[in-house]
Structure 1
Amino acid sequence: MKKMTMLLCCFSLQILFSQVGINTSNPQKMLDVNGNFSSKYQDASTGLFYELTNYKNDLAGSPTTTMSIANNSSLSAATEYSLLGIGKGAGNFVVKDANGISVLQFNAGITAFISQTTTASTSFWGQSTGSNPYSRMEVGNASGASAKVETNTTNGIQFTANSISGTTQSTYSFPAETGTNGQIMALNGNTTSLTGKLQWKNISDIMILKSPNGSCYKITVNDSGVLSTSSIACN
């Protein structure tokens, strides 16, 4: 068996039984690198750059390991790329092209997904840390209109819709409890309000009619099944 060792200016290269070690005299794999490294290759047919870096500071200055495919040798200058990065307690996957960008990010107890184009966006956020874990799903367009559904252990389920101007049009909180047979959901017993908490109500409690002159009447029934009306304040 042959063993060959080459000493260069900055590292030692040892070949032993078809194993190559850089900066180590005891390689455990076909290629064993003890230190940071970067590998980059450009496909001549597509012009795309394929890169693997095992130790690189991200934009926040934290060391990461990254894999990428891009249409530029510099990822920051690329207009189209796919990037996978992992760091201490975090990971992310990013895809960008002419249509827009999509990002999937993980931290300990937190997950986020964002997809955005020039005309619309979608997102999902989830957090399982703290005393009030929550999730949020949201869609929107370039005009400013949006809708989102949020869930948390304090308020249950909440739906919000925004107009084109970005002004909140409606916010509804759904009840956590289950209604009884024959009940329906109503907005605080007030069918004209645009914001409030949905509640389970008896149908008889919300059967309110408005007369031609603007007066409001509630429909009731007695034990004999006779219907009658009573005047109430209009909301």
Structure 2
Amino acid sequence: MANFSGRTGGRPRRVRPGFVSRAAARFHGRRDAADLVSVLREARGGRVPADVALPPHALGIRSEVERGNARLRRRMLVDGHALVTAVQSESVRIVHQYTVRGRPAPAALARYGQMVADWRNRAAVQRAKAQELADQANQLLACYWDAAWQRARRDMDPDDSPLDEHRPAGWLPGAVTLDASWHRCDDWLDTDSWYGTRSAADRPAVRQALDLLDSQNTTGPTASRT
């Protein structure tokens, strides 16, 4: 079992795969190589260690992505506060018009659709930035593991079973994927939501209005949920 006690992990300040960040990732990979031999050997079977077994530097890269995602969400909600408030208010009117009064109002629904489209377009921009964070983190992780692999291979006892010349393609412990919440940005419009069981009658106006909107044969960006 790898032992990383006493290691600082060299947490990166930002996930940016520039020259300095890549060099730092390689440095930490070489430094940690001796502790990673058992993990590297498991690569032959395609085994990837669970997050809790990742070395500190890899965990640090993943933590930076989480913080970056939190910053993007916060920025989106703060910058879009007026829009979120408008969508919430209009949601109440749309639901009242369609479900209480039973009188369809295409013009009002179209205006509401434009608001939602604006929100979804903003979400798409931030989601692209979040994906970029994930991609950059994986570049740094590749630098780290490549350096660890080469150093461990170089320093192994000749009597030991040697590692392959290169790290197996697709073997990247700690690989970062886009947070699933970025595919459900409409949920963020329901700021009073809590993750409990609700009856149909308890569904927030925002969710009811979005369902009304998406059930219509609208064209353009409002037809697809974000």
- Report the TM-score when normalising by structure 1: 0.19
Query: 1 or 2, which has the higher strand percentage?
Result: 1
Point out the structure with max Rg over C-alpha. Answer: 1
Higher relative contact order (CA 8 A, sep 6+): 2
